Amino acid sequence: MYKAPIDDMTFALETLSQEMPHLAQSLPDAEMIDVILNEAGKLAGDVIAPLNHEADKKGGAVRQDDGSVKTPDGFADAFRQLAEGGWTSMEAQEAFGGQEMPLALSSCVNEMWQSSNMAFSLCHLLTQGLISALQHSASDEQKACFIPPMVEGRWTGTMNLTEPQAGTDLAAIKTKAVKQGDHYLISGQKIYITYGEHDMAENIVHLVLARTPDAPEGHKGISVFLVPKFLINDDGSLGERNDVHCVSIEKKLGIKGSPTAVLQYGDNGGAIGYLVGEENQGLAIMFGMMNHARFNVGLQGLALSDRALQQAISYAHTRTQGTPLLREAKTPIIHHPDVARLIGQMKAESEAMRALMIYGAALLDEAEEGDEAIRRRADFLIPIIKGWLTEQSLIMTSHNVQIHGGMGFIEETGAAQHYRDARILPIYEGTTAIQSNDLLFRKTIRDDGLEAKSFLAEIARDAQLASTHEDNVIQSLASQLITKTVEAETAIDSLLARQNQPRHIAASGVPYLMMLGTLSGAWMLLKQGIRAHKLAQQTGADTDRLNGKLSSLKLFAALTLPLVTSYAETVSLAGDATEALDVEALLH
């Protein structure tokens, strides 16, 4: 069973609101937040979560002979309930029927959807991304036509980038777009299109990267088009079927319930598409959607981590196996020291990840108002949120399997499903290596480390202020953080000193990202620990819950934060060792 972690979400929102005025002003009042989170939690736990394991066991979505796709039992009805409850409208602008809820709050709700059933919730996630992209880049006419039906949950959206020969290298795309009057005719094939065909909505709107005949080579010649599954009549009703069809559904390691389609465009003359923005400006528009998507994939890493944590806690409190040291016979395995260590570390890291997600969401919201310093910080954090949270999800879902022992290796328990589902997260929307290259070259080297060092300086300032705190746990973490920020800055200096050796520093990119992610998590827990200690002094305080926060802080400091030292050392050493490798010798 899944239970939404509403208390922790609320605590993180309240803690960060005290330090971020824009977040405090954008959030509804505490009573409304409580209603939103509790109602979302009920839908996630009672309706969406029960569909997850069954869809995985039965093999997921199925393509029919006519090219249509049947989603797993219950998915279409659950999506209808999502729409009827107004949940598909949370982030969109009011002008299009949306609620304009701050991303910091809607991301908490999205975590519930993804944690309860990631395969199902991917449809909603991509639709939100398309709405966001159109709000920023589409014409007024396109916005009025395409956004409201997606906000209502009647239509859904996809993102079509990848082709058989063009994955990471989008410059290699071959899909064609030929202008014909007020539209274009699209032809080509796109692969890995999540919810590219399904039976959960009456129409699907594809955002497609393609080239016009006279487009320049490479990235500069990419345009982006809206291609609906069904054409739209002047009165907004649906017209004839467009020339885009699903030719197959991929068989996957995980997220089996979500249909990952191969889409063929233009088999019968060309699919009608509508240019978004200007010709040859498509990559910039798509990257706007991709930033939104990368943040949300990081959110998925948190979501699966928390689902694994909940399952591990439940199992460890009921399973008896062996007698834990200095405990009575028949005592549950949670009392084995190593199981307690693993679960404690999972809990601490989950809380750190959630707070970092909310912090990043708040910055993304504030950046919309044009503050350049906030925009730089938000952009700096996107690859860290995407990379660190998804890499951690692999570790935490693996811990869950380990805690289940042999039963974790058996599909019946569901632990293996979370492990398999998590494996896609460090891959899609840009692998961890791509995130680290973005962080390294665009967000660190390009400005000579100014933003990276500013980020470290802010962590160090908070740590310095907390280093004399009356609570020993807070004081200890703060002192560690001061030391770790110095180590991290030394690592950054080593990267800057070798910036004329791009292959050397690229080999250090992932450890660099993981180093900053770990520091960020510790920083978030420090903020929460300070607030928890203060609240615990008040009359009538929930001391068990608040002391749990301090326990998480202590566990993170002991079990996770020390990794910064090894990451920092690897940043300095990885380049030389990797470049000295004779890759041809690996063949023998």
Instruction: Tell me the CA distances in angstroms from 78 to 85, 113, 123, 458, one per residue in order.
Output: 11, 11, 12, 43
**Partners of residue 62 on adjacent β-strands:** 70
Q: Which amino acid is at 270?
A: G
Ordered DSSP codes for 13-54: HHHHHTT-HHHHHHS--HHHHHHHHHHHHHHIIIIIGGGHHH
Structure tokens that stand for 14 in this block: 């309240």
Helix (H, G, I), strand (E, B) or coil at 214: coil
How far apart, in whole angstroms, are the C-alpha atoms of residue 100 and residue 176? 36
Closest CA to 104 of 330, 321, 282, 364: 364
Contact at 8 Å (CB) between 456 and 508? no
The pairing of strands 203-210 and 155-160 is parallel
User: CB neighbours (10 Å) of residue 50?
Assistant: 15
How far apart, in whole angstroms, are the C-alpha atoms of residue 514 and residue 566? 10
Structure tokens that stand for 77 in this block: 């009805």
Catalytic residue among 91, 163, 391, 429: 429
Q: Which amino acid is at 204?
A: I
Please provide the distance, in angstroms rounded to a whole number, between the alpha carbons at the two ends of the chain.
Answer: 50
How far apart, in whole angstroms, are the C-alpha atoms of residue 246 and residue 227? 14
Helix (H, G, I), strand (E, B) or coil at 274: strand
**Partners of residue 204 on adjacent β-strands:** 156
Residue 186's Cβ-side half-sphere holds a number of Cα atoms within 13 Å equal to 30
Answer yes or no: 429 catalytic. Answer: yes
Question: Which residue in this structure is represented by tokens 């007020």?
Answer: 182
Contacts of 379 (CB under 8 A, 6+ apart): 291, 367, 443
Ordered DSSP codes for 102-158: -HHHHHHHHHHHHHH-HHHHHHHHHHHHHHHHHHHHS-HHHHHHHHHHHHTTSEEEE
Number of H helices and E strands in the chain, helices first, is 19, 12
Query: Residues with catalytic annotation?
Result: 429
